[in-house]
């Protein structure tokens, strides 16, 4: 199977961006670890980080043609604003897990609402970069159960 990991705005700055909230690992560190884990399980992993909402939307549209089986998505700040990304995911019908490094429920109230949680397979928040690892594990379990 092929899994797509999508990272939203400002996540390119991981490692230097508010490390007390987001940790010291870089996005490259995280992507490399996820890729290795996926390959060792016999699957493929693609990833994209973008600061532009339209790029994320177009990547989701293309994912359907490419036969991507599952998406792991940290929409970052767009979690709390983007009806357009929500609609893109509903349009393609690819199952996804919503991921956050920080515990959004522990933070400002504007981070408590997500446009994705009610349409996601599940949500993992607050476990640092391990949120991504656990999401990938869950995705691979589901794919091997059902395919
Ligand atoms: C985030 C949480 C969002 O509220 C924030 O805007 C981000 C990152 C996280 O991974 O903790 O950019 O999605």
Every domain of the chain and the residues it spans: 2-146
Ligand 1 pocket residue status of 129, Cβ below 6 Å: no
Q: Check residue 121 and give its pLDDT.
A: 98
- Does the Cβ of 31 fall within 6 Å of ligand 1? no
pLDDT at 145: 78
Contact between 98 and 70 under an 8 Å Cβ cutoff? The reply is no
Interstrand relation of 96-100 and 2-7 (parallel, antiparallel or unpaired):
unpaired
State whether ipTM is beyond 0.90.
yes
Per residue in 50-99, pLDDT (tens digit) is: 999 999 999 999 999 999 999 999 999 999 999 999 999 999 999 999 99
Binding residues for substrate, as ranges, are: 74, 80, 87, 101-102, 111
CA geometry: angle at 17 spanning 111 and 140, to 5°? 70
* Cβ 135 under 6 angstroms from ligand 1: no
Confidence at residue 144, expressed as pLDDT on a 0 to 100 scale? 87
Q: How many CB atoms lie within 10 A of CB 78?
A: 22
Q: Are 71 and 96 in contact (CB under 8 A)?
A: yes
CATH superfamily of 2-146: Dehydroquinase, class II (3.40.50.9100)
54 burial (CB, 10 Å; 0-12 / 13-18 / 19+) is: exposed
């Amino acid at each position: 199977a092929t899994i797509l990991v999508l990272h939203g705005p400002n996540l390119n700055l991981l490692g230097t961006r508010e490390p007390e909230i987001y940790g010291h690992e870089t996005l490259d560190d995280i992507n490399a670890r996820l890729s290795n884990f996926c390959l060792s399980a016999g699957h493929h992993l693609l990833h994209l980080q973008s600061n532009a909402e339209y790029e994320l939307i177009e990547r989701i549209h293309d994912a359907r043609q490419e036969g991507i089986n599952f998406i792991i998505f940290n929409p970052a700040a767009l979690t709390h604003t983007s009806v357009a990304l929500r609609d893109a995911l509903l349009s393609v019908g690819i199952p996804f897990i919503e991921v956050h490094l920080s515990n959004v429920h522990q933070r400002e109230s504007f981070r408590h609402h997500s446009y994705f949680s009610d349409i996601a397979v599940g949500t993992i928040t607050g476990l640092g970069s391990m949120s991504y690892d656990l999401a990938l594990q869950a995705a691979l379990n589901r794919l091997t159960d059902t395919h």
